[in-house]
């Protein structure tokens, strides 16, 4: 433990190569603000965005290369004698691809959107830092590293949510998000301390070993689980810990809302997968029913409230909450197939939500505000945006042949399968609740589509989206169709990722 | 029949899909020509495949299928691109190719966003051919749902005054019910436990499943397919959708989309869960009879010609369902023939209603009268379609009806009387509507002097449909051979002891 500092940083002591993507982002976050000081005017502000995209793309290429070739995979990154805190597996790389993809798409859309801010320099630095934090979560091997990753990402996103300083909604969002986030982190940390008290370790495999030996099946174990679930519940916005989400999504800048809905959510679930499916898998009987009730509650409440929303971003916020409920099925069922379904749905959800919020951001420049009625007649004003948004919404509702259907299918059918084979009869009801909820959701999505296509709006002035935004939107559109008709592209790696996580 | 190694069905599907996307971006005049050209491919393939069905097939497996192909798709869940055509699907593929080509021809006069309209038509055709050829439950479901989206937009963007309500109702009904069907598919997939969605492989083991499970699965299918057919009481979306849809959409809806439900019963439900069907058979028979007779009575009371034809469609599809429920060769072949004949005839009927709407400006029967003088060509064709639909001997509808009625008698004896009730009612509403619309005193409610006869792109497709209805009325053996083989295979796969079907029901 008391290694001299000099020994820590000697490259020959540990394999540092797998950490290059994270290092690249960190370097970008630290160096880009300095570069930004030299860039002047509106063009300079846009160049900041372009540089960020390049840094992120570099990291994505590296992660993708590691995934494709298997280089450095299944490596515990050990520093001298110190036990490994960090791992590189299919699971971690899969999630990193999601995080980086979301960050790239958001950064692309931000080139134009964030140039409206007086000073977007820190905006991009925070975006990179948040992404780094998420990647740390995906690779963590113990609760402390995981917590540090969550906090790095969260602290960055608190600032991002309140980035539009002159907009009081944005300031409110930032403040609210910070207070709720700090509270949930505290609760989560308390849960971690209880786990440490029970098992004497914060490392996932040691927790799993101790709990496999019968520790934690008591009331203290239950308390630890409840505290951790509450902490995670806040992060991924499960009902009844969801109250902050609509306000924050509504107030935060559109691109940031997309980042929260697509990226932060995936990070929360990455943490949930690690803690519950690896660390606490042995005491599943303690938590699976609680989570089942939370899942049904989350999707039902969110979908019913969403029906009455008149604000586009609040509606998408509730849709995001509902999707957290669906993905929870992956944790509850906990098989390789279910986890693959969960990862698959995290991917599609990230694409659908990211693209939707980008479109909203692009429309904001044309006085299309937040009200649903503002979307009337959008088809006439910009057919590409209207069609893409319609496809994203249909996919969110789970209409084939779009990717949202395929991922929901894998997710829900895993519950059906378990209910048949393992005698977990109640899982069938979970699947039925999820299907019924998908149905309810169709009605509010269809309402927006009807507004866009069948109603006439107050203006017919054509809308022109910036090139970078169009590129981001097209990527989303192509992916959502492609992954819908060719699910294997994601499902194959997702199955491998799930296999690498589960013991 | 040798299995070709060329994946013909995926190629045809790919052509239609690519054609649809290209059409979307073309200028209107070019889009018309291009869409018509693209639609000739499935028509040619559908015609050719009619001659390729192996009539000697004895087992419900891949060997009985023409152009059977299985390409890997989602190995993680065992779904594959499995396609194949047998005696049940071949007439449907032909019908889909034919009606789409004729509808595109008929739509030559469509000037409102023509390219997008035709692109959606081709997209529907793509999805429907997919439904009729897919032999993988997952793939089947994807195509099944894919039909809904373009149809939804077709009604929403090109429909009549009340189109928003009709489009959303259509979407809600078909989507809700097909999700229930999806639960049935999932249950079947896991219960069969083969790790594959292949229909033929599942049908080889699933009839041995527990009767209770089969009943639940069949109930899910009944709701999904029943709503599409549609059967009473989940039929209420259809009249709304038909009345509000543009003519082309109505034609496709009636001629092809309704057949998907009936086809689904034969392909996806009966061979896989026969015991479940036997449990719910009485319910199916009752629903079929109610659909036949009740909707015929409702049709009698309609003021809108399109609405009348819509209810008549429900009545006819009820007859097809009754044919299937008999589980006799005659009944099954009759039901299949009804699907085909109704496809031809209802397409002609809706085109006729479109002509009246286009040239007289209204479809309300009380507003019309004496049209025969003003539009003789249209009158002749529409009357021929009316007669075909009410089952005039010598036309395709008659063959279907007589087979179904014979099958009904063979299976259920004098329950036939209820089924026969629908025949005079059908004749009644058609003849009454014809009298009030075309003959009688010239109407004063619309300006008859401005009414012109049908345009050439309107009456030629109709004429072809009527001609084919006559051809298949006098020469049913073109199709009955393959239909007989197809229904044989389905009955064989069901493997029920039906030596005495009459007692089966009595008991």
Cis peptide before A220 (omega within 30 of 0): no
Nearest CA in chain B to A492: B76
Question: Closest partner residue to A450 among B74, B76, B156, by Cβ?
Answer: B156
Chain A: closest CA distance from residue B80 (Å): 11
- Whole-number Å distance between alpha carbons of A185 and B405: 73
Chain A: closest CA distance from residue B407 (Å): 38
Chain A: closest CA distance from residue B145 (Å): 6
Contacts of B148 in chain A (CB under 8 A): 399
Interface of B with A in 269-328 (CB under 8 A): none
Non-local (6+) Cβ contacts of B109 within 8 A are B358, B455, B457, B458
**pLDDT over 70 for what percent of chain B?**
97
| pLDDT tens digit sequence for B107-125 | 888 888 889 999 999 999 9
Instruction: State the pLDDT at residue A423.
Output: 62
Band (A43; pLDDT cuts 50, 70, 90): confident
Q: Is A154 in contact with A182 (CB distance < 8 Å)?
A: no
Interface of B with A in 228-267 (CB under 8 A): none
Structure tokens that stand for A355 in this block: 């693209």
Instruction: State the pLDDT at residue A13.
Output: 62
| pLDDT tens digit sequence for A308-322 | 999 999 999 999 999
**pLDDT over 70 for what percent of chain A?**
95
When mean pLDDT is compared across A126-130, B89-93, B94-98, B365-369, the lowest value belongs to B365-369
pLDDT higher than threshold 90 for residue B13: yes
Average pLDDT over residues B157-185: 89
**pLDDT over 90 for what percent of chain A?**
56
ipTM of the complex: 0.78
Contacts of A431 in chain B (CB under 8 A): 183, 186
Q: Mean pLDDT, chain B, as a whole number?
A: 89
Contacts of B183 in chain A (CB under 8 A): 416, 431-432, 435
Interface of B with A in 30-89 (CB under 8 A): 73-77
Instruction: State the pLDDT at residue A226.
Output: 92
Cis peptide before A240 (omega within 30 of 0): yes
Nearest CA in chain A to B175: A439
For chains A and B, count residue pairs whose Cβ atoms are closer than 8 Å. 79
Band (A80; pLDDT cuts 50, 70, 90): low
Average pLDDT over residues B352-375: 87
Contact B77 A410 (CB under 8 A): yes
Contact A492 B75 (CB under 8 A): yes
| pLDDT tens digit sequence for B223-245 | 999 999 889 888 999 999 999 99
Band (B503; pLDDT cuts 50, 70, 90): very low
Instruction: State the pLDDT at residue B289.
Output: 93
Average pLDDT over residues B360-374: 86
| pLDDT tens digit sequence for A112-161 | 888 888 788 889 999 999 999 999 999 998 899 999 999 999 999 999 99
Stated pTM of the model: 0.86
Q: Give the rounded distance of the alpha carbon of B136 from its chain centre.
A: 20
Contact B76 A420 (CB under 8 A): no
Band (B1; pLDDT cuts 50, 70, 90): very low
Of B217, B207, B222, B178, nearest to B272 by C-alpha is: B207
Contacts of A409 in chain B (CB under 8 A): 77, 138, 182
Q: Mean pLDDT, chain A, as a whole number?
A: 89
When mean pLDDT is compared across A11-25, A71-85, A207-221, B205-219, the lowest value belongs to A71-85
Q: Is B170 in contact with B152 (CB distance < 8 Å)?
A: yes
Non-local (6+) Cβ contacts of A260 within 8 A are A157, A161, A248, A249, A252
Contacts of A339 in chain B (CB under 8 A): none
pLDDT higher than threshold 60 for residue A185: yes
Residue A240 exposed, middle or buried by CB count within 10 Å (0-12, 13-18, 19+): exposed
Chain B: closest CA distance from residue A115 (Å): 34
Nearest CA in chain B to A496: B76
Determine contact: B164 vs chain A, CB below 8 A: yes
Contact B175 A439 (CB under 8 A): yes
Average pLDDT over residues A373-402: 90
Contacts of B182 in chain A (CB under 8 A): 409, 435
Chain B: closest CA distance from residue A492 (Å): 7
Structure tokens that stand for A7 in this block: 């020994």
Instruction: State the pLDDT at residue B263.
Output: 94
Cis peptide before A35 (omega within 30 of 0): no
Nearest CA in chain A to B75: A488
- Whole-number Å distance between alpha carbons of A260 and A234: 13
Contacts of B75 in chain A (CB under 8 A): 488, 492
Residue in A379, A399, A447, A448 to test binding to B, most B beta-carbons within 10 Å = A399
Chain A: closest CA distance from residue B259 (Å): 20
pLDDT higher than threshold 50 for residue B505: no
Contact B76 A399 (CB under 8 A): no
Question: Closest partner residue to B145 among A399, A486, A492, by Cβ?
Answer: A399
Chain A: closest CA distance from residue B73 (Å): 7
- Whole-number Å distance between alpha carbons of B356 and A263: 56
Q: CA torsion, points B454, B456, B457, B461, in degrees to nearest 10? A: 90
Residue A45 exposed, middle or buried by CB count within 10 Å (0-12, 13-18, 19+): buried
Determine contact: B153 vs chain A, CB below 8 A: yes
| pLDDT tens digit sequence for A281-298 | 888 888 888 899 999 999
Determine contact: B148 vs chain A, CB below 8 A: yes
Determine contact: B157 vs chain A, CB below 8 A: yes
Non-local (6+) Cβ contacts of A116 within 8 A are none
How many CB atoms lie under 10 A from the CB of residue B50? Answer: 18
Q: Is A351 in contact with A427 (CB distance < 8 Å)?
A: no
Chain A: closest CA distance from residue B149 (Å): 9
Nearest CA in chain B to A495: B76
Contact B77 A442 (CB under 8 A): no
Residue in A342, A409, A487, A496 to test binding to B, most B beta-carbons within 10 Å = A409
Chain B: closest CA distance from residue A394 (Å): 9
| pLDDT tens digit sequence for B130-146 | 999 999 999 999 999 99
- Whole-number Å distance between alpha carbons of B91 and B113: 32
Q: Write out the DSSP string of A342-398.
A: HHHHHHHHHHHHHHHHHHHHHHHTTT--SBGGGGTTHHHH-HHHHHHHHHHHHHHHT
């Amino acid at each position: 433990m008391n290694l001299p500092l000099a020994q820590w940083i000697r490259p020959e002591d540990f394999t540092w190569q797998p950490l290059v993507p994270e290092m690249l982002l960190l370097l970008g976050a630290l160096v880009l603000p300095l570069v930004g000081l030299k860039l002047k005017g509106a063009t300079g502000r846009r160049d900041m965005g372009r540089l960020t995209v390049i840094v992120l793309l570099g990291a994505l290429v590296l992660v993708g290369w590691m995934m494709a070739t298997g280089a450095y995979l299944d490596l515990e990154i050990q520093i001298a004698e110190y036990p490994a805190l960090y791992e590189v597996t299919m699971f971690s790389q899969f999630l990193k691809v999601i995080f980086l993809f979301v960050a790239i798409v958001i950064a692309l859309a931000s080139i134009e959107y964030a140039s409206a801010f007086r000073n977007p320099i820190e905006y991009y630095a925070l975006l990179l830092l948040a992404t780094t934090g998420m990647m740390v979560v995906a690779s963590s091997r113990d609760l402390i590293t995981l917590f540090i990753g969550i906090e790095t990402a969260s602290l960055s996103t608190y600032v991002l949510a309140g980035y539009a300083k002159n907009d009081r909604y944005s300031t409110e969002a930032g403040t609210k998000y910070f207070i709720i986030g700090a509270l949930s982190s505290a609760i989560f940390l308390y849960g971690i301390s209880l786990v440490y008290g029970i098992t004497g370790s914060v490392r996932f495999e040691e927790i799993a070993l101790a709990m496999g030996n019968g520790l934690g099946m008591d009331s203290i174990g239950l308390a630890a689980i409840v505290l951790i679930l509450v902490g995670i519940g806040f992060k991924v916005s499960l009902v009844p810990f969801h109250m902050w989400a609509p306000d924050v999504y509504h107030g935060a800048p559109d691109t940031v809302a997309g980042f929260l809905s697509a990226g932060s959510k995936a990070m929360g679930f990455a943490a949930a997968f690690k803690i519950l499916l690896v660390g606490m898998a042995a005491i599943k009987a303690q938590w699976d029913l609680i989570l089942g009730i939370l899942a049904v509650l989350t999707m039902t409440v969110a979908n019913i409230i969403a029906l009455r929303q008149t604000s586009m971003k609040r509606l998408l916020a509730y849709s995001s909450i509902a999707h957290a409920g669906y993905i929870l099925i992956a944790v509850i069922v906990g098989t390789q197939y279910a986890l693959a379904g969960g990862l698959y749905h995290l991917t599609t959800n990230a694409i659908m939500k990211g693209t939707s919020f980008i479109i909203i951001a692009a429309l904001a420049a044309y006085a299309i505000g937040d009200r649903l009625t503002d979307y009337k007649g959008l088809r006439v004003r910009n057919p590409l945006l209207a069609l893409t948004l319609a496809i994203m919404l249909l996919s969110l509702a789970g209409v084939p042949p779009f990717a949202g259907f395929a991922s929901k299918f894998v997710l829900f059918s895993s519950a059906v399968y378990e209910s048949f084979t393992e005698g977990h009869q109640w899982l069938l009801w979970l699947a039925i609740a999820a299907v019924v909820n998908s149905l309810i959701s169709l009605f509010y999505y269809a309402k927006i589509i009807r507004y866009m296509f069948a109603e006439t709006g107050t203006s017919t002035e054509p809308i022109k989206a910036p090139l970078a935004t169009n590129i981001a939107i097209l990527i989303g559109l192509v992916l959502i169709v492609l992954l819908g008709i060719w699910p294997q592209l994601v499902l194959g790696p997702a199955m491998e990722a799930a296999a690498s996580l589960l013991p | 029949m040798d299995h070709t190694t060329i994946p013909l069905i995926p190629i045809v599907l790919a052509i239609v899909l690519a054609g649809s996307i290209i059409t979307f971006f073309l200028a209107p005049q070019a889009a018309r020509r291009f869409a018509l050209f693209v639609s000739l491919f499935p028509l040619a393939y559908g015609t050719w495949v009619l001659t390729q069905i192996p009539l000697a097939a004895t087992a419900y497996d891949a060997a009985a299928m023409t152009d059977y192909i299985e390409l890997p798709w989602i190995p993680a869940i065992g779904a594959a691109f499995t396609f194949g055509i047998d005696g049940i699907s071949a007439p449907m593929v032909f019908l889909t190719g034919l009606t789409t080509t004729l509808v595109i021809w008929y739509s030559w006069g469509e000037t409102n966003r023509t390219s997008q309209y035709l692109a959606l038509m081709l997209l529907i055709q793509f999805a429907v051919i997919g439904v009729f050829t897919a032999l993988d439950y997952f793939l089947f479901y994807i195509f099944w749902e894919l039909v809904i989206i373009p149809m939804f937009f077709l009604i929403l963007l090109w429909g009549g005054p009340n189109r928003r309500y009709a489009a959303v109702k259509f979407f809600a009904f078909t989507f809700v019910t097909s999700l229930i069907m999806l639960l049935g598919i999932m249950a079947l997939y896991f219960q069969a436990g083969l790790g594959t969605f292949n229909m033929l492989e599942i049908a080889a083991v699933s009839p041995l499943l527990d009767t209770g499970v089969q009943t639940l699965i069949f109930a899910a299918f009944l709701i999904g397919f029943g709503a599409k057919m549609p059967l009473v009481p989940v039929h209420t979306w259809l009249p709304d959708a038909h009345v509000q849809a543009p003519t082309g959409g109505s034609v496709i809806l009636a001629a092809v989309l309704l057949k998907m439900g009936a086809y689904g019963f034969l392909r996806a439900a009966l061979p896989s869960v026969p015991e479940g069907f036997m449990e719910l058979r009485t319910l199916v028979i009752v629903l079929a009879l109610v659909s036949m007779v009740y909707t015929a009575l409702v049709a009698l009371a309609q003021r809108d010609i399109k609405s009348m034809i819509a209810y008549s469609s429900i009545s006819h599809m009820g007859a097809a369902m009754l044919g299937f429920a008999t589980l006799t060769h005659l009944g099954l072949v009759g039901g299949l023939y009804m699907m085909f004949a109704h496809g031809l005839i209802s397409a002609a009927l809706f085109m006729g209603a479109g002509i009246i709407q286009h040239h007289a400006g209204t479809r309300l029967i009380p507003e019309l009268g004496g049209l025969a003088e003003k539009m003789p060509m249209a009158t002749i064709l529409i009357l021929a379609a009316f007669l075909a639909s009410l089952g005039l001997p010598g036309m395709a509808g008659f063959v279907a009806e007589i087979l179904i009625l014979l099958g009904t008698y063979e299976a259920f004896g004098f329950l036939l009387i209820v089924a026969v009730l629908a025949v005079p009612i059908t004749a009644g509403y058609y003849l009454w509507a014809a009298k009030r619309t075309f003959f009688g005193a010239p109407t004063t409610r619309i300006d008859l002097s401005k009414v012109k006869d049908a345009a050439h792109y309107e009456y030629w497709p109709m004429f072809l449909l009527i001609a084919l209805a006559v051809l298949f009325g006098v020469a049913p053996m073109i199709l009955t051979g393959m239909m007989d083989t197809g229904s044989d295979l389905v009955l064989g796969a069901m493997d029920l002891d039906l030596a005495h079907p009459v007692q089966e029901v009595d008991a």
